[in-house]
Structure 1
Amino acid sequence: MNLKTAFLPVYRADADDYWLGLGVIALIDALRITLAGPGAGLLTFLIIVFFFIALHINRLRDAGRPGALAMIAAAVALAAKGIVALIAMAVSLTPLLFEYFESQGINTEDPQALQEASQDPALMQGFQTYLENQGPEFALQLAGAGAWPSLFGFWIAALLMGLWYARMGRRA
């Protein structure tokens, strides 16, 4: 097995090298979040994306397909990462929203009152202002709420796309 296929887009990656490369890159990504925290930064994630695309280009080269198809896997995985991160952060905001509603005198036990409050533009603008005034610590806490779920979203989408890429046979 050639582990170099996971890092530079100049090799050929058969199915085994491809799966090994995905595993190694996923492990590096998990270590990135574990060691650097949720605010690990865009630069380190771009390095992960580079390795991810390089591995897919190598797999496509081995299968005799155009390397541009690597962008499909990257786009799907990045879309999944973004969607899952937004959902996770929205879910983490729910207790804060309820706390804000209670501070505004809204009964959070009443579903009708919650629905009316959530549709009140002035109240939601007040909540947005409340969030903006929380400070940078809150932003890091919110990023932390989306870090691990988005990592799982990215790699689950990558593994599902990997089933297609790994099964590509060589073209004659």
Structure 2
Amino acid sequence: MVAAATTSLPERADTGRDYDYRYAWVRDQCYAGIAVAAHGPHALLDRAVGFVAGRVLEDDADLRPPYTVHGEPVPAERSLPFVGYPGGSDRTGNRAGRQFQLDVFGDALQLFAAAARHDALDARASKAAATAADAVAGRWTRPDAGLWELESRWWTHSRLSCVVGLRDLAREVGTPASED
């Protein structure tokens, strides 16, 4: 699933906020999987879990917000030799592919919790859930670009997303036993 089949359409004319959305955003995969899980097990939930788990396991704490539909890194932004949409530009690629957005880990944890509610959290996804939880612990204090891809700072939304994801996952699968 891609965010949009378009590139170079401005969010608002003449603002420089023209992006290429022809990518699979981790956040969108999570939201779609969580939404269908609210109604029961579904193949879309399984595909979302598979895609997100693959990205988490491959990139660990360096999870990116978007990927190509094949799970590859999104290319850097560059201009094309064409005229863009009126009020827009002619960009391809997306700079968000290089951003750190802490909330994607929280979204992933919420997706894994939704899968666990339907006994759809296999060993690979369980490992990805543990990896995402570790990434949250390791990167919690780091400023991030947040959901809105703005300047890096301590975004409340990012932290709340992680808290909800950790809470939901703990409710579904429990917490590791103490090693005392």
Q: TM-score, normalised by structure 2?
A: 0.28
Which structure features the higher share of strand residues?
2
Structure with higher Rg: it is 1
Which structure features the higher share of helix residues?
1
